[in-house]
Structure 1
Amino acid sequence: MRLRTTVLLLSCALLAACGGETPRLQAVDAATLDAPVRIEPWLLPAAEGTSAPDLAVAADGRVMLSWIDSQPGRRHLFRFSNWWPGDARWDVAPKTIALGNRMFVNWADTPHILATPDGAVWAHWLQKSGAEPYAYDVALARSRDGGASWTPPVVVHDDNTRTEHGFVSMWPQGDSLLGIAWLDGRATAGAGDAQARDAHAGHQGGHAASAPGDGAMSLRAALFDGAMQPVLESTLDTRVCDCCQTDVAVTSKGPLLVYRGRSPDEIRDVLVTRLEGNVWTAPRRVHADDWHMPACPVNGPAIAADGEHVVVAWYTAPGDVPQVRLARSSDSGDSFGDPLVLDEGDAVQGRVAVALDTQQVHVAWLREETGVQTLLLARYTPDLSRELERTMVATLQGNGRGTGFPKLAVSNGIAHLVWTEVVDGRPQLRGARLGAGG
Structure 2
Amino acid sequence: MKQVVILMMIFTLGCHRSNIQPGMEIVLSHAGKDASCPFITKDATDNVVISWVEKDTAATTGMMYYAVSNDNGHTFSAPVNIPVTAGVYPHDENLPKLLFKPGGEVIALFGVEANDPRNKYAGKVMYAQSFDNGRSWQDAVPLVTDTAGYDQRYFDMALLPNGEAAAIWLDNRKNTNAEGSTLYFAVTAGKSGFKQAMPVAGTVCQCCRTKMYVAANGDIHVAYRDIINDSIRDMVHQVSVDGGKTFSAPVRISADNWVVNGCPHTGPALTANSQGLHFAWFTMGSGQGVFYCRSIDNGHTYTQKELLSKVLMAKHPQIVTTTGDQVMIVWDEPVKWKQDFNSRIGFQYKAADGKTIQAGMLTTDSSYANYPVIGALKSKETLVAYKRRTGNVGAVVYQLVQLP
**Shorter-chain TM-score category?**
0.7 to 0.9
Structure 1 residue 353, shift from structure 2 partner: 0.9
- Amino acid aligned to 1:40: G
Q: Secondary structure at the match of 1:39?
A: coil
Contact kept in structure 1, 2:315 and 2:333, CA below 8 Å: yes
- Amino acid aligned to 2:114: S
Q: Which residue of 2 aligns with 1:338?
A: 304
User: Which residue, 107, 126, 142 being the options, matches 2:111?
Assistant: 126
- Counterparts of 1:127-276 in structure 2, within 5 Å, are 127-130=112-115, 133-161=120-148, 163-187=150-174, 216-251=180-215, 252-276=217-241
Instruction: Report the Cα distance in structure 1 between the residues aligned to 2:272 and 2:314, rounded to whole angstroms.
Output: 24
Instruction: Report the Cα distance in structure 2 between the residues aligned to 1:282 and 1:407, rounded to whole angstroms.
Output: 29
- Counterparts of 1:28-427 in structure 2, within 5 Å, are 35-48=18-31, 49-58=34-43, 60-72=45-57, 76-86=62-72, 88-96=74-82, 98-100=84-86, 102-130=87-115, 133-161=120-148, 163-187=150-174, 216-251=180-215, 252-277=217-242, 278-306=245-273, 309-319=276-286, 321-346=287-312, 348-357=313-322, 358-370=324-336, 371-385=341-355, 387-395=356-364, 405-412=371-378, 413-427=380-394
**Pair 1:331–1:116, CA change in 2 (3 A):** farther
Structure 1 residue 45, shift from structure 2 partner: 2.6
Structure 1 residue 241, shift from structure 2 partner: 0.6
- Amino acid aligned to 1:181: I
**Pair 1:86–1:376, CA change in 2 (3 A):** closer
Query: Structure 1 residues 248-257 or 329-338, which shifts more?
Result: 329-338
Structure 1 residue 213, shift from structure 2 partner: 5.3
- Counterparts of 1:7-22 in structure 2, within 5 Å, are none
Query: Structure 1 residues 130-139 or 290-299, which shifts more?
Result: 130-139
Instruction: Report the Cα distance in structure 1 between the residues aligned to 2:56 and 2:63, rounded to whole angstroms.
Output: 9
Contact kept in structure 2, 1:374 and 1:395, CA below 8 Å: yes
Structure 1 residue 92, shift from structure 2 partner: 4.2
Instruction: Report the Cα distance in structure 2 between the residues aligned to 1:67 and 1:180, rounded to whole angstroms.
Output: 19
Structure 1 residue 99, shift from structure 2 partner: 3.8
- Amino acid aligned to 2:99: L
Instruction: Report the Cα distance in structure 1 between the residues aligned to 2:381 and 2:273, rounded to whole angstroms.
Output: 15
Structure 1 residue 186, shift from structure 2 partner: 3.2
Give a deviation string over 1:225-260, Cα, whole Å, max 9, x none: 222343432211111111001112111251211111
Structure 1 residue 268, shift from structure 2 partner: 1.0
**Pair 1:345–1:120, CA change in 2 (3 A):** same
Q: Secondary structure at the match of 2:190?
A: coil
Instruction: Report the Cα distance in structure 2 between the residues aligned to 1:332 and 1:33, rounded to whole angstroms.
Output: 37
**Pair 1:234–1:241, CA change in 2 (3 A):** same
Structure 1 residue 404, shift from structure 2 partner: 5.2
Structure 1 residue 94, shift from structure 2 partner: 2.1
Q: Secondary structure at the match of 2:308?
A: strand
Q: Which has the higher contact order (CA 8 A, sep 6+)?
A: 1
Q: Secondary structure at the match of 1:272?
A: strand
Q: Secondary structure at the match of 1:280?
A: coil
**Pair 1:103–1:50, CA change in 2 (3 A):** same
- Amino acid aligned to 2:329: V
Q: Which residue of 2 aligns with 1:24?
A: none
Task: Give the % identical residues.
Answer: 19
> Would you say how many aligned residue pairs link Structure 1 and Structure 2?
377
- Amino acid aligned to 2:231: E
Structure 1 residue 215, shift from structure 2 partner: 5.4
Query: Structure 1 residues 36-45 or 403-412, which shifts more?
Result: 36-45
Q: Secondary structure at the match of 1:297?
A: coil
- Amino acid aligned to 1:236: V
Q: Which runs of 5+ in 2 are unaligned?
A: 1-13
Instruction: Report the Cα distance in structure 2 between the residues aligned to 1:46 and 1:68, rounded to whole angstroms.
Output: 9
Give a deviation string over 1:183-239, Cα, whole Å, max 9, x none: 112359xxxxxxxxxxxxxxxxxxxxxxx9575311111001222343432211111
Structure 1 residue 345, shift from structure 2 partner: 4.7
Aligned-residue RMSD, C-alpha: 2.7
Contact kept in structure 2, 1:114 and 1:123, CA below 8 Å: yes
**Pair 1:95–1:345, CA change in 2 (3 A):** closer
Instruction: Report the Cα distance in structure 1 between the residues aligned to 2:39 and 2:137, rounded to whole angstroms.
Output: 19
